Amino acid sequence: MTPTLVFDLETIPDAHGLRSLNPGWDPELSDTQVIERALAERRETHGTDFLPLHLHKVAVVGCVFRDSSGFRVKTLGQATDPEAALLAGFFKTIDRYTPRLVSWNGSGFDLPVLHYRSLIHGVPAPRYWDTGDDDRDFKFNNYISRYHTRHIDLMDLLAKYNGRANAPLDDLAKLCGFPGKLGMDGSQVWQAWQQGRADEVRAYCETDVVNTWLVYCRFRLLKGELDAVSYQAEIDLVRSSLEQNPAPHWKDYLAAWHASRA
């Protein structure tokens, strides 16, 4: 079995980067004040407070890892770990296992953020960046090229690479009978993080990667990689694994899953 790594990022504005790019701002401003000023200026100039991708600091990396040993879901490291450590942990997994990466909008958001932030911190990732120089197989199937399968951006693929056809993960998960998002979305992450609710953000990220994995399993059924029996076995494996996890958010997730099937 080819290992599969489903991943998702939660990010917060980079206060240090904003200070560096705006040397004229009052140095006495707190990080929160710097960020709020940047968000306000962005809303005024662009009509949205969504910052450029290189100013998104990685706060959480959520992962589902599926291989012959089973199904696991976790967030990397601890909430207090420096960003560079989270980046290094993600790319170390790729270096070790060479998994298939699966994401929802990973090509449009998560991977460019990882690229920029790794460049800023100088985090090496030789396996990820290989396009055939070190491994000939990577010349024709690597993580970088859009139409190769070492990374599958499921949103991009299902929309047939047409941005106007993109659909939200939350909608697709719920329409497929899965729980979808519970209690938070990406626009609320910064507010929750600055309020000290890092555990809630990490839990939210974990549920999102499970949603992505479940939708990906459904896609594999369509593609013929799974038949009806093996597809149901994958779904049952997720459910049984979560039932054994004592974290409170999985109890809520399973309850929502049960309600969606009622």
Could you read off the pLDDT tens digit of each residue along the chain, which spans 262 residues?
899 999 999 999 999 999 999 999 999 999 999 999 999 999 999 999 999 999 999 999 999 999 999 999 999 999 999 999 999 999 999 999 999 999 999 999 999 999 999 999 999 999 999 999 989 999 999 999 989 999 999 999 999 999 999 999 999 999 999 999 987 877 899 999 999 999 999 999 999 999 999 999 999 999 999 999 999 999 999 999 999 999 999 999 999 998 877 5
Structure confidence at residue 185 (pLDDT): 79
Structure confidence at residue 182 (pLDDT): 86
Domain boundaries along the sequence of the chain: 4-136+149-260
Instruction: Report phi then psi at 45, rounded to 5.
Output: -90, -25
Structure confidence at residue 262 (pLDDT): 58
Query: What pTM, to 2 d.p., does this model score?
Result: 0.95
Dist CA 258 CA 106 (whole Å): 28
Cβ neighbors of 7 (< 8 A, separation 6 or more) are: 61, 62, 63, 90, 101, 102, 103, 106, 110, 209
Which CATH number is associated with domain 4-136+149-260?
3.30.420.10
CB 62 within 8 A of CB 104: no
Spell out the SS3 assignment of the chain. CCCEEEEEEEEEECHHHHHHHCCCCCCCCCHHHHHHHHHHHHHHHHCCCCCCHHHEEEEEEEEEEEECCEEEEEECCCCCCCHHHHHHHHHHHHHHHCCEEEECCHHHHHHHHHHHHHHHHCCCCHHHHCCCCCCCHHHHCCCCCCCCCCEEEHHHHHCCCCHHHCCCHHHHHHHCCCCCCCCCCHHHHHHHHHCCCHHHHHHHHHHHHHHHHHHHHHHHHHHCCCCHHHHHHHHHHHHHHHHCCCCHHHHHHHHHHHHHCC
* The 4-13 sheet, strands edge to edge: 70-75, 56-67, 4-13, 100-103, 151-153
Identify the CA nearest to 155 among candidates 165, 146, 145, 147. 165
Structure confidence at residue 160 (pLDDT): 95
Structure confidence at residue 176 (pLDDT): 96
Residue 23's CB: how many other CB atoms inside 10 A?
7
For 192, what's the count of Cα atoms within 13 Å in the CB-facing half-sphere? Answer: 21
